[in-house]
Structure 1
Amino acid sequence: MSDQHTEIDAHSGVETTGHTWDGIQELNNPLPRWWLIVWYISIAWAFIYIVLMPAIPALPGFGGTNTPGLLGQSDRTSVSEQVATMKAERGVASQRLMAASLTEIQNDLNLQQFAMAMGESAFGDNCATCHGSGGRGAKGYPMLADDVWLWSGTLEGIEQTIRHGIRHEGDDATRFSAMPAFGRDKLLTSSEIDDLVQHVLSFSGRDTDASAAAEGSTIFALQCATCHGANAKGDRNIGAPDLTDAEWIFGGEPADIAATIANARNAHMPAWQGRLDDPTIKALALYVHSLGGGE
C-alpha cells in the first residue's frame, strides 16, 4: 500500500517516502556520494567521447554514416592499414617460399614455420569443412592424417592434387579415376554384386560366405583386377584403392561396398589453382603433408 504523506522514522530519524510494504517503511535516504560522483563522471565522459570519436549514426549531412569525431578515428582504416602491413610482411616471406623447393622449406625452420602457419590457416578456411579439423576425414571424405593415398602422398603429389583437384572439368592435369557403375549400368546382376562383395571382404581377412566369395573371385578377375590388380593392392597411378586394408572412404560394411560397386562413387574435389595463390597452395601442401600421412 502507499501512504499519501511522509513522516520521520522513529528509529533512524530519516524522512520516509510515504511508501510502506508489509509494515516496512521506505526511507528517503540520499544516494551515496561516491555513486553520484561516478554517475556524473560517466555522463561527462560520454559527452567527451561523442565529440572526439565516431559515435552518432546516420545524422543528416554525414552521407548516411556516423559522425567522424574530432580525432578522426576509424576502425575500418586501422584494419586496412594492418592488413596492408601484414600483406607486405607476408609478401617477402611468400617470395622466399616460392623460390625454395618443398624439400628446402622443410630444412629451413623459419620458412617452415611460416609455411605451416599459412597452410593451417588456409586448411581451416577451405579444407576442414570436408576433411575435418586436423584432416581426420569423414565418411565420403578421405582422412589426410594416415598413410593411405589414392594417388601420391609426396609433397609434390599433394600439391598437384590441391592445384588441379579431382575430376575437375576443363583441367587436363586433374586427378581422374573412373569406376563403372556395375549395378546402375546393368553390367552385373544384384546376385553377382553380392558375390563380389563377399570376395572383396575376403581380401582384408574378414568373415565371408566362402561359396559366394568363390563365385565373386571369377567376377573380380574379369571386371576389377585390371584396375585394382589381381592381388587387390590397387594402383595409385590411376587412383584405384587398395582393397586389402581396413581403410574405406565410403564405408567398409557389406552394404557400403555393394553400393559402391552398384553405383560407383567418383567423387569430386575442387581445383584450388586460381582460387588460392601459389604461396598458399605450396604452404597448404606442406601442412597436409605434416598431418602425419605424408610420404
Structure 2
Amino acid sequence: MAEVERDPVSGRETTGHEWNGIKELDTPVPRGVLMFLIVTHVWAITWWFFVPAWPLGETYTKGLLGVNQRTTVEERVVEAQQERSTWMSRLENEPYEVILANETLMETVRDTGQQLFGDNCAACHGRDGKGRANYPDLTDDDWLWGGSPDLIEQTMRVGINTAHPESRIAQMPAFGRDQMLERDQVRNVAAYVYSLSHPDYSTPETLERIEAGQEVFVTTCAACHGETAEGSQEMGAPNLTDPYWVYGGDLDTIIASVHGGRQGHMPTWDERLTTAEIRTLAVYVHDLGAQQP
C-alpha cells in the first residue's frame, strides 16, 4: 500500500501533483459552499416548474404560477392609461385659471410638462428653458407674443413664420443689406438702441450719434417696436429697453441685426402633439416664467 504524503505545514494530504516545487493539496470543498450549490440547484429545478422556462417548438412551458410578463405589462399599460386619462382630460378641457389654481394638478403639469418639454422643446430652448443664442429664454417672463397660457398655446399651435395658415409672422428687414439705410444710419440707430438698455453708454462723445439714431428709429423702427421702443406683442416685436435679448444685446450684434435683419422660426405643433399635451406645455412654460423672482 502506497504511503500517503502529507503537507508538513497544514497536515493535509497531497494529490501527488507537483509544479516547480509546489505540491497540490487534496483539500475538500467547504461544507458551506457545497450546501449553497445544492440549495441553488434544487431551487432552480423547482422554479422551472413554477414559471415559464423551457421552449417547446412553437410554445413553451407555462409554469404552475401562470406568470406571463407580456400580460402583466399590458395590464400595467392599461392601468397607467386609465390613470393618465383622468388628469389629461382635465388639462384638455378645464380653463387655465382653474388649472393654475389647483396645486395638485400643477404638480402633474410640472412633472409631465418637463418630460414633454425635454422631448420637444429643449433642442432649441435648452433643457432648463433658458434658451441660447438665437433662441429666446422662456424663464425671464419677457415675451415676444405674450406669456399667458392662452397666447403660448396659440403660438405653439400655429408656429412662427411657418406654412400654417394662421402662423404668426414676424420679420425684421435687412435695413443695411437692402440699402434702406445708409451705413452711418445703421450705426447711429444701433447706438441709440444700445443706449436704451445701457444708459451709461450715453456720454458727450456718443450723444450726437445717439440723437441721430433716435431720429432714424422714430421714422424707421417705431412702427413695430413702438415710439418708446418697448415692443409690441401683437406684432412679435421685442422690447428694446430691457436686458433681455434673443440675438444678443451688445453693440456689434445690434448693428448686425439692423444691417442683416432677423427672421426667427418656430414649428407648428398642432399635428405633432395632442391638445392635452399642448395645453400642458403651455401651462408648464408659463409656470417657468412665473417661478422666477
TM superposition shift of 1:238: 0.3
What residue identity is the alignment partner of 1:78? Answer: T
1:148 aligns with 2:126: no
Contact 1:198-1:216 at 8 Å conserved across structures: yes
For 2:261, the equivalent position in structure 1 comes to 264
Alpha-carbon deviations, 1:56-87, whole Å to 9, x = none?
7xx79449xxx575366444443332222111
What SS does structure 2 have at the residue aligned with 1:133? coil
Partner residue of 1:119 out of 113, 121, 124: 113
In the other structure, the counterpart of 1:3 is none
User: Does the C-alpha gap of structure 1 residues 177 and 52 become closer, same or farther in structure 2, counting only changes over 3 Å?
Assistant: same
Asked if the contact 1:153/1:293 (under 8 Å) is kept, the reply is: no
Deviation for aligned residue 1:201? 0.7
Q: Does 1:97 align with 2:94?
A: no
Q: Are the counterparts in 2 of residues 140 and 249 from structure 1 also a CA contact under 8 Å?
A: yes
Shift of 1:252: 1.4
Instruction: Tell me the alpha carbon deviations over residues 67-123 of structure 1, each in whole angstroms, 9 at most, x when there is no partner.
Output: 575366444443332222111122233333333211122233443433443323322
Q: State the match for 1:248 in structure 2.
A: 245
Deviations 1:6-63, CA, capped at 9 Å, x for gaps? 9421121213353456x6654332222212332343344445556655667xx79449
Decide whether the 8 Å contact of 1:246 with 1:252 is kept in 2. Answer: yes
Mapped to 2, the partners of 1:251 and 1:169 lie a distance apart of 27
Shift of the alpha carbon at 1:157?
A: 1.3
- Tell me how far apart the structure 2 counterparts of residues 149 and 235 of structure 1 sit (CA, whole Å): 10
- Cα–Cα, structure 1 residues 42 and 149, in superposed 2: closer, same or farther, change >3 Å? same
Equivalences for 1:184-223 in 2 at 5 Å? 184-204=177-197, 205-207=199-201, 209-223=206-220
In structure 2, the CA distance between the partners of 1:11 and 1:283, relative to structure 1 (3 Å rule), is: same
Specify the alignment match of 2:27 in structure 1. Answer: 29
| AA matched with 1:127 | C
Q: Take 1:46 and 1:256, find their aligned partners in 2: how far apart are those partners? A: 70
CA offset at residue 150 of structure 1? 0.7
Give yes or no for contact 1:155–1:285 (8 Å, CA) kept in 2.
yes
For structure 1, which segment, 190-199 or 175-184, has the greater mean C-alpha deviation from structure 2 after superposition? 190-199
- Which sections of structure 1, spanning at least 5 residues, go unmatched? 1-5
- Aligned partner (choices 7, 10, 18) of residue 9 of structure 1: 7
Seen in structure 2, the aligned counterparts of structure 1 residues 101 and 192 have a Cα distance that, compared at 3 Å, is same
2:168 matches 1:175: yes
How far residue 243 of structure 1 moved from its aligned partner, in angstroms, is 0.7
**How far, CA to CA, are the matches of 1:106 and 1:8 in structure 2?**
84
SS of the equivalent of 2:289 reads coil
Question: Does the CA-based 8 Å contact 1:154-1:289 persist in structure 2?
Answer: yes
Q: CA deviation at 1:240?
A: 0.5
Moved more, 183-192 or 200-209: 183-192
Cα pair distance change 1:92/1:218, threshold 3 Å: same
Query: Match of 1:39?
Result: 37
For 1:82 and 1:258, the matched residues in 2 are separated by 58
Shift of 1:259: 2.5
Q: Is the 8 A contact 1:144 1:293 kept in 2?
A: no
Question: Alpha-carbon deviation of 1:242?
Answer: 0.7
* Among candidates 266, 281, 285, match of residue 284 of structure 1: 281
Give yes or no for contact 1:180–1:264 (8 Å, CA) kept in 2: yes
The answer on whether the counterparts of 1:234 and 1:242 sit within 8 Å (CA) in structure 2 is yes
For residue 292 of structure 1, give the secondary structure of its aligned residue in structure 2: helix
Q: Is the 8 A contact 2:171 2:264 kept in 1?
A: no
TM-score, normalised to structure 1's length? 0.81
Distance change >3 Å, CA 29–CA 284, structure 1 → 2 = same
The C-alpha deviation readout for 1:190-237, integer Å capped at 9, x for no partner, is: 444333322211111252644433443333223212111222111111
Which 5+ residue runs of structure 2 have no aligned equivalent?
A: none
Q: How does 1:232-247 map to 2 (within 5 A)?
A: 232-247=229-244
TM-score with structure 2 setting the length: 0.82
AA aligned opposite 1:200: V
Aligned counterparts of 2:232 and 2:265: Cα–Cα separation in 1: 19
Instruction: Decide whether the 8 Å contact of 1:153 with 1:294 is kept in 2.
Output: no
